[in-house]
Chain A
Amino acid sequence: MTGKEYRMACAARGGLLFMRGVPGVALGGRVQVRDHRNHKRNGQVIRTSNDLILVQVFEGTENLGLDTTWVRFLDAPFEITLSPDLLGRVFSGIGQPRDHRPPLIAALKRNVNGAPMNPVARAYPREFIQTGISTIDCLNSLVRGQKLPLFSGSGLPHNRLAAQIVRQARLLGEAEGNFAVVFGAMGISHDDARFFQESFETSGVLRNVVMFINLADDPPIERLILPRTALTVAEYLAFDLNRHVLVVLSDMTHYAEALREVATAKGDVPARKGYPGYLYSDLAEIYERAGRIKERSGSITLIPVVSMPSDDITHPIPDLTGYITEGQIVLSRELHNRSLYPPINIPPSLSRLMKDGIGAAHTREDHPRIASQLYASYAHALEVRMLASIIGAEDLSESDRQYLNFADDFEQRFVNQAEDEDRSIIDTLTLAWDILSQLPPETLSRLTEADLARYHHWTPVAMEEL
């Protein structure tokens, strides 16, 4: 059957090609489509019976004629070739070279869909990664094997932040070198793609990077397979070559939109905002490939970028993502407009795996409590700020004015940092104590007496400065 080409298309729409009368075709099989100009396209069988076959064409179904389209069923799943030579290369979503170099040749090939990891095989992630960014290291600590998305909005510097994390991320007390980066770009602009490329080049990590690029003007259906290809490579690097792999996927919203496009063409019942009911399971198949495996030294840490349509965190894509990932870093337009970088919105941001990756064994003994205290104090300070905007700062009590000051200082000195500023976790914690010392010790109920005695230097800001 692999040798035969069929010309039995009966319909083509929305990236799907409908074929009649080809019996016994396997689900998920790879397909080669040849159009009237003899150009080849790639596809995959997504529904099959003896009467009708649905083929998803990654390059789209534009310019296909029903009578002039030839389809060859390759009778094999979608696979990618794996070898250490992947590093430093740039590919398309289906694994074809985009860097004008020859395709990889190696014996090892794997199905890009992977297989679900047995929960019993997982090792719990607990190794602290220092990103050099105070708001992440101190308040939303990232650990190896975690999946921590960046929730952003259009125009916010999520790509700059992701690039900074890639440049600066390292494990405390371990020599660098054993890491790799897999970068999957879905529907991002040429400018953003160039920015990442240059950022990897200037920081000298490029030889440890594998890039999978599908730009905004590339066929959208290819975005459906791109993260799977990228993560198959990441699994190979992590669990065959024992690398610590950081995977950045930008932007998952474009992925979900492509999924919706195909689902609509297939006639799937829509659930919310036209997205199919299986969006959660589909996203989980991608995100859950991050992690660690028992008795293997590599790891996959996943940082997907999710741009929230209209900054709406309840939109299905960020919402379902948040239910799968182990926390989220939320960017704030308000902080960005006040020229703060990185504009990380503290209250809704969260790292679920932080509790086991910080503290005496990993960072410093007081870390868990100071993070909790900063959250609590800042939350209170924001309430005070809201109150001040209504009744005016003059009418605030002295204690409230201390909080107002604390909020400003926290944002300007702690949240705000330069794009090339790499703060050690100890520097970050020192800074945190410095800022918390503006508040009277008795209001800091999340800290122990011992913490306060050791680190807190109560320096009330003189009233005339307020």
Chain B
Amino acid sequence: MGEILEINGPIVTVHLPGVLNGAQVSIGALDLIGEVIGLDGERAVVQVYESTESLRPGEKVEPLGHPLVAELGPGLLGQIFDGVQRPLASIFERSGAYLVRGLNLSPLDRQKTWTFAPAPDHKPGQRLEGGEVLGTVQETPSFVHRILVPPDLGGELLELAPAGDYTVDQVIARIRDRTGSPSELRLYHRWPVRTPRPYRRREAVGIPLITGQRILDTFFPLLKGGKAAIPGPFGAGKTMVQQQIARWSDADIVIYVGCGERGNELVDILETFPTLTDPYSGRPLMERTLLVANTSNMPVVAREASIYVGVTMGEYFRDQGYDVVVVADSTSRWAEALREVAGRLGQMPVEEGHPAYLASRLAAFYERAGCVETLAGKHGSVTLIGAVSPPGGDFSEPVTSHTKDIVQTFWALSKSLADMRHYPAVDWTASFSAYVGAAAPWWAVHADPNWAERRTKALELLTEADELAHVVNLVGPEALSPEQRWVLESAGLIREGVLQQSALDPVDSFCSPQKQFVLLDLILEIHRRGTRLLTLGVPVQQLLNIPLLGHAKRLKTGYGNDQIEALRQFATEIQNTFERFLQDYAQPPPASSAVTDGEQKP
């Protein structure tokens, strides 16, 4: 038992000899929970997860005997937790619209029973290692929750419960560990969130995470188990991009961590996701989604903890052999929470007030992404996507620049694109993906062998058009050659017909990899044929006036993902349109051109 010495915002100095660094403590008459972040003799510095208003020096402090842990077991899915994994829906039922302090409910429902099916080949007496599957619980109609032996435990199985209904608190197995002491296992176990969960080994990443967003999947792919960042100034559409990823990505589980962001955005997810259908399982989207919400007005220390809670739950599902996407919105708010605590501790600031350990903490966090072979020999992945909110949209600020060093896929959002209502406002010049080569084989098999070539061609056109646009801004479009004006037009087609994608349009919101490729291919076909006509002397103005160009821009909304063949037929329309020109202009027909015109795609 200790006592409070000083209160400075969320930082409380206590007299508590013998406490471990990182341990949790309960503070004051309200039982506020905090975490020791520094020791100095018999004093401990505690960061408190709730507002410290009305605390006074002299109040009691009690150690809880464990660090910040997450409860991992059936009942997580579809839930919304705060930054230290308190169940917000239960808190709402208990205490109403506003969060009251000192209400410490368990994350998992203690009353609810789950139907447990023990793994058939486990027999008493057999050795079980940490991370092995004890049995399963059918958590939702589409999701099998595998009950794991806690990774830090293992030994001889003494007893395994028969199939039946159990609450998370009931013992389902007993194990005698190496030292001979017996342990009771339940449907859930706890894991300290700041420690990465162990796995057998890392595997190479190689399968793209399909998000259904053309600019992301086709142009700057992310792989399952990879790490990506979405930096962008306010108003550039970060939230929209992340929600699209949460909606459409082909992962088994999506964990959305709202870290210091707007309350209404989470409400949007809470209200819309249950009504949306998971495109892969056909079940309500909320059944594969898990929210961690520490909105900007909630206490800042719990915000710092929230991304660790989120990624720990992600690793837990990974260890069951699933592909998990963890979206952290936003890592800048997390860094600010770190900065606020560091500032209150009087630590020396380095860049823009951020502490010196910012870069190492960020890197360690992103390293928790990966494809692994789990302790049970299964294959699972955690893909980490972090939003970054650079102050003033300045990508050279510390959080963005450190993040850029760490991630492999960088989806840079641009304010000027957003101002033109070009969504998703992913800037094709500032973004990058180091996974293009690794993704190409998958695309070659699942979409088209020419994927890599088309992608490169489109990016070249876009880049060339950007340069030409500078010239136009100086001297006007008349100064360009016909070929250059056609490049500008084609890039415009790519922008409007491929890159722009409406999240609100029911047809266009999700674009299958096949449709992504065909759309791009068709538009490049228009470019190729137009370029040929120009060489034959067709005036560029005539090409620019073809109504076909307008139609090409609307193809994305005109054909659904199940109408790929019909969409491919548009190639015929392109062919007919351009051949009509050819007939008009190629007279007297040079024999060769008429022949080359026959080189059609089958």
Q: B109 to nearest A CB, angstroms?
A: 15
A335 to B370, CA, bound (A): 51
List chain A residues, Cβ under 8 A from B262: 288, 324, 326
Q: B78 to nearest A CB, angstroms?
A: 12
B-contact 0/1 string along A111-154, CB 8 Å cutoff: 10111111111111100000000000000000001000000000
Which A239-288 residues sit within 8 Å CB-CB of chain B?
239, 268-272, 276-278, 280-281, 284-285, 287-288
A119 & B263 in contact (Cβ 8 Å cutoff): yes
A269 to B7, CA, bound (A): 17
List chain B residues, Cβ under 8 A from A372: 421
Please tell me if A416 contacts chain B, counting CB pairs below 8 Å.
no
List chain A residues, Cβ under 8 A from B263: 117, 119, 122, 288, 291
A121 & B421 in contact (Cβ 8 Å cutoff): no
Please tell me if A25 contacts chain B, counting CB pairs below 8 Å.
yes
Q: B249 to nearest A CB, angstroms?
A: 21
**Looking at the complex, which of A8-16, A219-227, A390-398, A428-436 is the stretch in contact with chain B?**
A390-398
Q: B429 to nearest A CB, angstroms?
A: 18
A291 to B297, CA, bound (A): 13
A119 & B80 in contact (Cβ 8 Å cutoff): yes
Contact of A27 among B5, B55, B299, B504 (CB under 8 A): B55
A316 & B339 in contact (Cβ 8 Å cutoff): no
Contact of B353 among A29, A125, A270, A319 (CB under 8 A): A270
Which A80-138 residues sit within 8 Å CB-CB of chain B?
111, 113-125
A235 to B98, CA, bound (A): 11
List chain A residues, Cβ under 8 A from B56: 24-27, 48
A391 & B266 in contact (Cβ 8 Å cutoff): no
Find the A residue at minimum CB distance from B345: A269
A113 to B553, CA, bound (A): 52
List chain A residues, Cβ under 8 A from B394: 314
Q: How many residues of A contact B (CB 8 A)?
A: 83
A368 to B506, CA, bound (A): 14
Q: B52 to nearest A CB, angstroms?
A: 6
Q: How many A-B residue pairs have CB under 8 A?
A: 219
Contact of A47 among B8, B91, B299 (CB under 8 A): B8
A291 & B264 in contact (Cβ 8 Å cutoff): yes
Please tell me if A195 contacts chain B, counting CB pairs below 8 Å.
no
| A118/B340 contact (C-beta < 8 A), A27-B55, A288-B295, A291-B263 known | no
Please tell me if A65 contacts chain B, counting CB pairs below 8 Å.
no
B235 & A350 in contact (Cβ 8 Å cutoff): yes
A268 to B473, CA, bound (A): 47
Which of A24, A119, A356 has the most C-beta atoms of chain B within 10 angstroms of its own C-beta? Answer: A119
List chain A residues, Cβ under 8 A from B353: 269-272, 277
Q: B264 to nearest A CB, angstroms?
A: 6
A93 to B597, CA, bound (A): 79
Please tell me if A455 contacts chain B, counting CB pairs below 8 Å.
no
Find the A residue at minimum CB distance from B355: A269
A445 & B296 in contact (Cβ 8 Å cutoff): no
Contact of A119 among B260, B266, B478 (CB under 8 A): B266
A352 to B503, CA, bound (A): 13
B391 & A316 in contact (Cβ 8 Å cutoff): yes
A323 to B232, CA, bound (A): 10
Q: B17 to nearest A CB, angstroms?
A: 18
A28 & B53 in contact (Cβ 8 Å cutoff): yes
A-contact 0/1 string along B273-300, CB 8 Å cutoff: 0000000000000000000010111111
Of the A-B pairs whose beta carbons lie under 8 Å apart in the complex, a sample of 5, sorted by A's number, is A117-B297, A118-B88, A121-B92, A277-B336, A322-B234
Instruction: Mark A residues whose CB is within 8 Å of B.
Output: 23-29, 47-50, 77, 111, 113-125, 145, 239, 268-272, 276-278, 280-281, 284-285, 287-289, 291, 293-294, 296, 313-316, 319-320, 322-324, 326-328, 347-348, 350, 352-353, 355-356, 368, 372, 375-376, 379-380, 383, 386-387, 390-391, 395-397, 442, 445-446
Q: Given A278-B300, A390-B475, list of 16 further CB < 8 A pairs?
A: A26-B54, A48-B7, A49-B57, A77-B53, A119-B270, A124-B268, A125-B264, A271-B339, A271-B353, A272-B352, A280-B296, A281-B300, A281-B337, A291-B264, A355-B504, A391-B475
